[in-house]
A and B are shown apart, each in its own frame.
Chain A
Amino acid sequence: NAGVTQTPKFQVLKTGQSMTLQCAQDMNHEYMSWYRQDPGMGLRLIHYSVGAGITDQGEVPNGYNVSRSTTEDFPLRLLSAAPSQTSVYFCASRSRRTVNTEAFFGQGTRLTVV
């Protein structure tokens, strides 16, 4: 049981490049989310999903796309990277079958756009 796995851990992109951040969970959780965290700041919600085939925008969705074809995977795509997207990205998952709001987070992807 690996929990939430994010790849890669580190990435450097040039402005304008595209890439996909991977997130996978093996807990059969319905809810998955992507957050970004800028230095010294709190987490901001980018996109979230309540189940396979269902996604919606969070607080800061511009410049990012998501899809959820399976329960396990929730990739985040940067269409055309910009320096403002330099940040640490966290993926999280949570079960809808529990009363508490315990979410499980991955170890993060540190992205630098130059």
Chain B
Amino acid sequence: LAKTTQPISMDSYEGQEVNITCSHNNIATNDYITWYQQFPSQGPRFIIQGYKTKVTNEVASLFIPADRKSSTLSLPRVSLSDTAVYYCLVGDSRGDSSYKLIFGSGTRLLVRP
């Protein structure tokens, strides 16, 4: 499983765009990049997954450069309710390791008024 590195914490203000970058230098050819969000006292929630280029859904966008050694989760116009921990995971969703989702320490995002 590819190791990921993300900032420990980030601060932002309401209405701003927040970009959280994750490094995964040893990503394998079949690996996907997945982001989860965790609010206090709750289990993580799947946000978005991508393989290359850009993926967008109603919650966030995920940007993946051509070399796939990093990825950026973009949250547009954050609100106080986006305060949470964000986890970046890398793994082969179709391979034998796909059932072992390994979470790192995540990025603690604090959105201020």
Contact = CB atoms under 8 A, between A and B. Distances in A.
Interface of A: 4, 31, 33, 35, 41-45, 48, 50, 58-59, 88, 90, 92, 94, 96, 98-108
Given A101-B49, A105-B43, A108-B41, A42 B103 contact: yes
A96 B44 contact: no
B44 to A, nearest CB: 6
A44 to B, nearest CB: 8
Contacts of B32: 99-101
A41 B105 contact: yes
Contacts of A92: 43-44, 101
Contacts of A94: 99, 101
Given A42-B105, A90-B44, A103-B44, 8 more contacts: A4-B43, A35-B103, A45-B103, A100-B93, A101-B98, A101-B101, A104-B46, A106-B43
Contacts of B105: 41-42
A103 B94 contact: no
15 contacts: A33-B100, A42-B87, A42-B104, A42-B105, A43-B103, A45-B101, A45-B102, A48-B99, A58-B100, A59-B102, A100-B32, A100-B46, A102-B34, A105-B45, A108-B41
Contacts of A100: 32, 34, 46, 49, 93
Query: Looking at B46, B87, B105, which has the most chain A CB atoms within 10 Å of its CB?
Result: B46
A88 B66 CA distance: 38
Given A31-B99, A45-B102, A92-B43, A101 B34 contact: yes
Contacts of A50: 99
A102 B99 contact: no
Contact of A107 (B42, B49, B99): B42
